[in-house]
Amino acid sequence: DGGITQSPKYLFRKEGQNVTLSCEQNLNHDAMYWYRQDPGQGLRLIYYSQIVNDFQKGDIAEGYSVSREKKESFPLTVTSAQKNPTAFYLCASSSRGLFQPQHFGDGTRLSIL
Amino acid sequence: GESVGLHLPTLSVQEGDNSIINCAYSNSASDYFIWYKQESGKGPQFIIDIRSNMDKRQGQRVTALLNKTVKHLSLQIAATQPGDSAVYFCAEKGEKAAGNKLTFGGGTRVLVKP
């Protein structure tokens, strides 16, 4: 089945620690996105990538980093500089083109120990 | 900046009735709109999309309506079922949005009463 796989489902971070969230897609989509969702709120864009080896900051990129070395993978690192990392993180992908919906994985819930 | 918002945070509906979820948007240059359904602990699931050159788009049991004059979106769900209980988000894409970025509304929770 084609889809987007995020792992792990739950992740705990200690103070001062960097953690990396995985996102893999087998939909052959060019574009990939990372969002943060806080309780009772909508989605806010962290980073996005339209093509391999290229990515752009979204609205809340501070304290996060990404890489896009392969078309199917777009890992997100939550660095120690992100002072409020507790949230639900969602990865999405889409085909290129003006009217292509984004499709989402089932998220990673990150908490602070 | 430009944003998408919702009128009602929670909608309670009787099973079998029709549901209407509303969304206002402020970017008159938006050309593409999407509705998503999110169940607890899961990612948003694509329901239906509608382009700015359309007023209405019909899916299976769902209809998306777009009124560009007043910048208003609606999602109609016919014969609402318990499985329709979820949070619904609208999202919009600006005509010249870099990377086809979407702007999401805050969401409406739909509760289906048996």
Which tens digits make up the pLDDT trace of A35-66? 999 987 889 999 999 999 999 999 999 999 99
Give A-chain residues touching B99 at CB under 8 angstroms. Answer: 31, 48, 50, 56
CB of B107 less than 8 A from some CB of A: yes
Which tens digits make up the pLDDT trace of B60-100? 999 999 999 999 999 999 999 999 999 999 999 987 777 78
**Res A1: pLDDT:** 62
Nearest-angstrom CA–CA distance, B6 and B13:
17
Nearest-angstrom CA–CA distance, A54 and A50:
7
What size, in residues, is chain B? 114
Identity (one letter) of the amino acid at A30?
D
CB of A31 less than 8 A from some CB of B: yes
Q: Is there a contact between B101 and A42 if contact means CB atoms under 8 Å apart?
A: no
**Res B6: pLDDT:** 40
Encoding tokens for residue B83?
């499985």
**Res A97: pLDDT:** 84
Mutate to test the interface with B, among A4, A5, A43, A106 (most CBs of B within 10 A): A43
**Res B2: pLDDT:** 38
Nearest-angstrom CA–CA distance, B70 and B53:
15
Range from A9-18, A28-37, B40-49 carrying the lowest mean pLDDT: A9-18
Q: Is there a contact between B43 and A105 if contact means CB atoms under 8 Å apart?
A: yes
Nearest-angstrom CA–CA distance, B103 and B63:
21
Q: Does pLDDT of B58 surpass 90?
A: yes
Nearest-angstrom CA–CA distance, B92 and B90:
7
Identity (one letter) of the amino acid at B74?
S
Give A-chain residues touching B54 at CB under 8 angstroms. Answer: none
Which tens digits make up the pLDDT trace of B20-48? 999 999 888 899 999 999 999 999 999 99
Identity (one letter) of the amino acid at B9?
P
